[in-house]
């Protein structure tokens, strides 16, 4: 049985392009409640830690450099079946393959600058939420 929370980040490309508000609007209109949200910026070291799971992949260095290149909006979201439903809402990793109406189709530029992150499991949603937020920051 799947949990009711997931973790997301609006990535530096989307923040830079001024579409964070539009993305949050689409998330809320899809029925997700915002439990925690802030603007922050990762150091290269922090991004490398967050994406450690991808350390063997050829794009790891580029990914960590990109994710520490500018401000991001991490958030914790709540909805029934949150992880799976949010992955559907954001669409395929490569926006060229994302379904019409998904966040990546609407707002992403490319497979690396793809606007938004969504946890891929309940377990990772907890780990990723704890990376950014204390209990005091959750409502």
Instruction: Provide the annotated active-site residues.
Output: 117
Comparing CB distances to ligand GDP, the nearer of 102 and 114 is 114
List 77's β-bridge partners, or say none: 6, 34
- Residue list 53-92, contact with ligand GDP (CB under 6 A): 59, 62-63
Pairing of strands 33-37, 116-118: unpaired
Closest separation in Å from C-beta 87 to ligand GDP: 8
Of 117, 125, 132, 133, the one binding ligand GDP by CB under 6 A: 117
Q: Report the distance separating Cα 71 and Cα 37, nearest Å.
A: 13
**14 near 90, Cβ under 8 Å?**
no
Comparing CB distances to ligand GDP, the nearer of 78 and 120 is 120
Comparing CB distances to ligand GDP, the nearer of 59 and 137 is 59
* Contact flag: residue 114 with ligand GDP (CB under 6 A): yes
Closest separation in Å from C-beta 117 to ligand GDP: 6
Chain residues that interact with ligand GDP, rule: CB under 6 A: 59, 62-63, 93, 111-112, 114, 117, 120
């Amino acid at each position: 049985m799947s949990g009711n929370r997931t973790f997301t980040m609006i990535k530096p490309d989307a923040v830079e392009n001024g579409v964070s508000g539009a993305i949050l609007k689409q998330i809320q209109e899809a029925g997700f409640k915002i439990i925690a949200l802030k603007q922050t910026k990762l150091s290269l070291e922090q991004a490398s830690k967050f994406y450690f799971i991808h350390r063997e992949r050829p794009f790891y260095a580029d990914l960590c450099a990109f994710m520490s290149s500018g401000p991001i909006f991490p958030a914790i979201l709540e909805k029934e079946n949150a992880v799976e439903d949010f992955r559907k809402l954001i669409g395929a990793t490569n926006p060229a393959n994302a379904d019409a109406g998904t966040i990546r189709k609407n707002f992403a530029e490319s497979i690396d600058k793809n606007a938004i992150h969504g946890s891929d499991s309940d377990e990772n949603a907890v780990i990723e939420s704890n990376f950014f937020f204390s209990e005091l920051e959750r409502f």
